[in-house]
Structure 1
Amino acid sequence: MQHVQSADASLPRGGKERFPLSLYSLTAGAFAIGMTEFVIMGLLPEVAADLGVSVPKAGNLITGYALGVGIGAPVLALATARFPKKLLLSLLMVLFIAGNAAAALAPTYGILLAARIFTSLAHGTFFGIGAVYASSLVSAQRKAGAVSVMMAGLTIANVLGVPFGTFIGQELGWRMSFVAVAVMGVVTLIGLVVLIPSVKQEEDTSPARQIRALLQPKLGLALLTGAMGCCSLFALFSYIKPLLTDVTGMSEGIVPWVLVLFGCGVTLGNMIGGKLADRALMPTVIGSFLAQALLLALLGLVDTTPAATLAVVFLWGAASFASMPGLQVRIMTLAKDAPALASTSNHAVLNFGNAFGAFFGGWIVVRFELSSGAYDYSVLPWTAAAFSLLGLLLACVMLAWDRRGKAFS
């Protein structure tokens, strides 16, 4: 008989609800995936130089990964709907390990790009299935908090994994960064096998019914809002290293520590955002986008001053991820007939935002080329701020729509 875990099991007598241990194994998986997604951003110049391409073209390694998530996640979610969740999460991690090993061995830019896209197939489905699983382990009042704990793996990857991977890449070569990620994937796989319990499969919902659940206008608006946040983040963060070295004037050795600072902000924002969203979901999302827009505009004004840049980067990291848990829970709530597919599709759409943001950031930089091979990265904070303002507008429309619906109900 399969073991079924419920939210009540995590409640101590007369005490505060605890998060179950199995939730943290999902956090470990999020850490590994977050590391491979973001580590390339601190190594674009090294990868470009080694493979004989420009930095903006190397930026397509970020775009390609994001597109792979966007296209592959919903398809995999539908194709694997009847898979036992523990088996599916483990198989996704095997795919992840193989893709990173291939990236470490890639002899050309094209093969590296293909390896990145292959690896990306694990990303959206893992986060989508994992988020539904995480929210099912706790009471309704703590769903956003549980999702934020799982997503903390992504933010911790920014604090520890990405700077560590960047340091390895700078000292031992960028290929060793992917070796380190593959090793982390092996550790995560062991954790999933040991800690994730087998759970009772939910009653299957037909693919047609799941797709109909995704076609709700409110759900589409929530997905688009999240995509604008990712456009904003990746338009700038994809090129954070050349911004810091060419515009702010920092040395390459400082960059990993700036990524640590950014990651600390991301982790703080993710946890605070989860707690605030459990109390007031849409005001938290709106406040996050407003803070992003203001901080990015400020960064555009002070990005030649190292101390001010460091302060703004930390706060920007916090604001950028504060909206994530709330949007994830809202999307799963709106798509009750297909929470796993909706959650996976959310990560797919977010990664389309990642892809477009990275592409558009590179496109803008090329338009502002100062001389052959020299680019003006100072335009990127303003570009990112524009995307945040679009996200703010969409979030306000969501809130107004909710209030109008309540007024007529």
Structure 2
Amino acid sequence: MTLPSSDGPTTLSPARIRFALLALALGGFGIGSTEFVAMGLLPNLASDLLPGLYAADPSAANAQAGWLISAYALGVVVGAPTIAAAAARWPRKQLLLALLAAFTLGTVASALLPSFELVLAARFLSALPHGAYFGIASLVAASLLGPGKRARGVALVLSGLTIANVVGVPAITWLGQSAGWRAAYLVVAAIFAATFLAVVLAMPWQAGDRAATMRNELKAFTRAQVWFALAIGAIGFGGLFAVYSYVAPLVTDVTGLNAGAVPFVLVVIGVGMTVGNLVGGAFADRSVRRTMYAFFGVMLLALVGLALTATNIVGLLLFLFLVGASAAALAPTIQTRLMDVARDSQSIAAALNHSALNLGNALGAYLGGLAIATGLGYVAPVWIGLGLSAVGVLFAVVTFAIDRERRRRGFVVPYGTGLVETVEPA
């Protein structure tokens, strides 16, 4: 394997490539932990940071604590395009190290600050590097894996996030329930520090995109198909987060299990996400369109099933597994679509996917919390998630219909096989 370096081509051994990919995935593991651990610890965060409100109305306190999830998601939305566009020319290793240092400091601040308002601000700031990390790491992973494996490179980096939902989030949730949520976030900060060291040791030097400028990267926003792809993620992916944000009270108040069951339910979701991510990455390299339609269909069916059977433990576990699997399969699929339609704005396209998905996170968490706060109960966010996913499907139908029309008129529009080329008909 030959990659550019400051001194010319550098040949990497297969073992070195695996080490580098593992380091990138470890960063995804840390990001998955910091993003999703709040969902299992929502009642703990509410009771500690909003004690008066929690004593008077636990549902209202849980809904307000959901703002911590939304704040993180909005930080991703702001940070991903800003950092990716501004730093596209930076050497990739140095950029990843800077992002990991920011993650570490922001997560420590989240653990130590004393009030709800300050923790809210810290969650926003600590999320700023999220999308840029995944975007740059995905480009690096794709270059390490070689041609024709773009979606698999994206999926490999995302596998750290999904594995976090199998191992990291349940374990850290258990720790947070036992030793306090602040201890949980300190462990997450330690994961980021370990990733920093792993990237120092494993990651080869890679130049940034020397031809990239902020102006060229921002051209992605002038393309209608980019906006459609962003809408698919921002709205359609809200179906997952409307459910996931309030999974702890769903388990305890609807299914009737005790709080100790929450980490085990999170494992089930995490296993589904891990399987779905790998399957989605492999399928998206063959056909983005068919993969997107198939897994949106699974998600819609799973959300209906969950809403109807959440009082039963078997229904709860089965349909939460399917919600996690289908959503995770969509993540590399949507990212590949964005990289297709963004053409030469690849750095910002790779990062924008995480802005879109986390806008879905913020939207799902907000609307789900609004439904709970108005007294509709903890199943209501599932129905809201169904509506959001259905709107995502509509955007997918529109964007692929535009592709069909362009092909009919003589334009070349390949699916998931590199950049989308626009060719005037002969």
Aligned to 1:372: none
In the TM superposition, 1:5-404 aligns within 5 A as 20-52=18-50, 53=53, 54-368=61-375, 376-404=377-405
TM-superposed CA distance for 1:27, in Å, is 0.6
TM-superposed CA distance for 1:19, in Å, is 6.7
Q: 1:152-179: per-residue Cα shift (whole Å, max 9, x none)?
A: 0010010111001100001111111001
- Whole-angstrom distance in 1 between the partners of 2:221 and 2:138: 17
| Conservation of the 8 A alpha-carbon contact between 2:237 and 2:392 | no
Q: 1:255-277: per-residue Cα shift (whole Å, max 9, x none)?
A: 10010011000000000011111
| Conservation of the 8 A alpha-carbon contact between 2:85 and 2:213 | no
- Whole-angstrom distance in 2 between the partners of 1:81 and 1:200: 10
- Whole-angstrom distance in 2 between the partners of 1:284 and 1:10: 33
TM-superposed CA distance for 1:3, in Å, is 6.0
- Whole-angstrom distance in 1 between the partners of 2:26 and 2:14: 23
TM-superposed CA distance for 1:113, in Å, is 0.8
Q: 1:357-380: per-residue Cα shift (whole Å, max 9, x none)?
A: 1111111111225xxxxxx10112
| Conservation of the 8 A alpha-carbon contact between 1:290 and 1:388 | no
Q: Which amino acid aligns with 2:409?
A: F
- Whole-angstrom distance in 2 between the partners of 1:344 and 1:149: 15
TM-superposed CA distance for 1:406, in Å, is 1.6
Q: Which amino acid aligns with 1:22?
A: A
**Structure 2 unmatched runs, 5+:** 54-60, 411-426
- Whole-angstrom distance in 2 between the partners of 1:408 and 1:364: 46
Q: Which amino acid aligns with 1:353?
A: G
- Whole-angstrom distance in 2 between the partners of 1:5 and 1:248: 58
Aligned to 2:406: 405
Q: Structure 2 vs 1, CA of residues 4 and 35 (structure 1 numbering), >3 Å: closer, same or farther?
A: farther
Q: 1:295-350: per-residue Cα shift (whole Å, max 9, x none)?
A: 10111110111112111111211111111112111211222321011211221122
Aligned length: 397
- Whole-angstrom distance in 2 between the partners of 1:196 and 1:240: 36
Q: CA RMSD in A?
A: 1.9
TM-superposed CA distance for 1:232, in Å, is 1.1
TM-superposed CA distance for 1:10, in Å, is 8.0
- Whole-angstrom distance in 2 between the partners of 1:379 and 1:322: 24
Q: Which amino acid aligns with 1:34?
A: G
Q: Percent of counterpart pairs with the same letter?
A: 40
Q: Which amino acid aligns with 2:29?
A: F
- Whole-angstrom distance in 1 between the partners of 2:315 and 2:350: 37
TM-superposed CA distance for 1:278, in Å, is 1.2
Q: 1:176-202: per-residue Cα shift (whole Å, max 9, x none)?
A: 100110111111111111111111333
User: Is 1:2 aligned to residue 6 of structure 2?
Assistant: yes
| Conservation of the 8 A alpha-carbon contact between 2:152 and 2:278 | yes
- Whole-angstrom distance in 1 between the partners of 2:292 and 2:116: 38
| Conservation of the 8 A alpha-carbon contact between 2:85 and 2:218 | no
- Whole-angstrom distance in 2 between the partners of 1:272 and 1:99: 33
Q: Which amino acid aligns with 1:295?
A: A
- Whole-angstrom distance in 1 between the partners of 2:89 and 2:210: 9
Q: Which amino acid aligns with 2:190?
A: V
Q: Structure 2 vs 1, CA of residues 347 and 3 (structure 1 numbering), >3 Å: closer, same or farther?
A: farther
Q: Structure 2 vs 1, CA of residues 239 and 3 (structure 1 numbering), >3 Å: closer, same or farther?
A: farther
Q: Which amino acid aligns with 1:210?
A: E
TM-superposed CA distance for 1:139, in Å, is 3.3
TM-score (norm 1): 0.93
**Structure 1 unmatched runs, 5+:** 13-17, 370-375
